[in-house]
Amino acid sequence: MPGVILLRDSAPTRHQLLQAAVARFGPDVVVTGADALRALGVDCPATREVHLLVPDYRRMPAEPGMLPRRTTRMPPPTLIDGVPFAPPARAVLDLARLELDPARIAELVSLPLYWGLCTLDELSAELEAGNRRGSAAVRTALRRVDPEETYAHGLATKVLDGCPLPMPSWNMTICDRRGRPIGAADAWWDDIGLAWQFRAPKAGTSNFHPLALTATGTVLVRCTIDQLRKVPMEVAEELVRAYGEAARTPRPKVRTIGQIDDAA
């Protein structure tokens, strides 16, 4: 890029590419898309090109590896390590608009909710304020998002990130030896029979009593979404303790039949 020099004889890092983009396009540009989400802590793959928002009065030179988009709605940036990044709602919608696969779009729009970076209302407001061109699939995906479930699952995943435990299966229905549903687990470790419940049952779904699970010898950990948010370390410690207890006892004679909603 003209006027941009890397002062080392090696390939630039991703962060150096972002710095180069700002140096080339000017300090009033904002990095959006996957790079902005990653800077905010979201675990998502980087895109091949650096996605930039450029004020509509600015000239946009064509540069390899850069995807500049002129806009009259420049978002207030968050400066991280010297690079201005778009807010999470704007970043994920800019990224989703580039996608053609509906399944991938649905996955993307749930990311900032999963990581607790914004609300569904904020996503919807940002979508309404933007250009409607190319937004039909994104609107459809947003209508299908369950914000509470997505947020709770994100909190639970963060708790497990700090635990020396294998990853569980999610949203399982537990059955007795005859195949009759006796309980639900938001997270389930099948090899040892450990269940974790952190969401309140939804209206219209089966409301199993926890004693039905524990009577089979299943080790059950229960907490609330509020505890996941406020005391994650205490929840993690309880999970580790329960995992050790379940590993020391015979596995309960239960089996799973799939997701909770499928069994209800």
User: For the chain, which residues make up each domain, given as ranges?
Assistant: 14-145, 153-263
Q: How does residue 258 score in pLDDT terms, banded at 50, 70 and 90?
A: low
Predicted pLDDT at 162: 82
Q: How does residue 41 score in pLDDT terms, banded at 50, 70 and 90?
A: confident
Indicate if the pLDDT at residue 205 is higher than 60.
no
**Rounded CA gap, 220 and 197, in Å?**
8
Q: What is the mean pLDDT of residues 140-158?
A: 88
- The mean pLDDT value of the chain amounts to 89
C-alpha distance from residue 144 to each of 85, 109, 184 (Å)? 27, 10, 23
Indicate if the pLDDT at residue 68 is higher than 50.
yes
Diameter over CA atoms, the chain: 72
**Which helix (H) or strand (E) is 143 found in, with range?**
helix 136-143
Q: What is the mean pLDDT of residues 74-97?
A: 95
Type of residue numbered 249: T
**Rounded CA gap, 99 and 196, in Å?**
35
Fold of 153-263: Endonuclease; Chain A (3.40.960)
Q: What is the mean pLDDT of residues 7-23?
A: 91
Indicate if the pLDDT at residue 49 is higher than 70.
yes
Q: Does this model's pTM top 0.75?
A: no
Percent of the chain with pLDDT over 70: 95
Residues 6+ apart with CB under 8 A from 70: 54, 55, 56, 58, 60
Q: Do the beta carbons of residue 206 and residue 264 sit within 8 Å?
A: yes
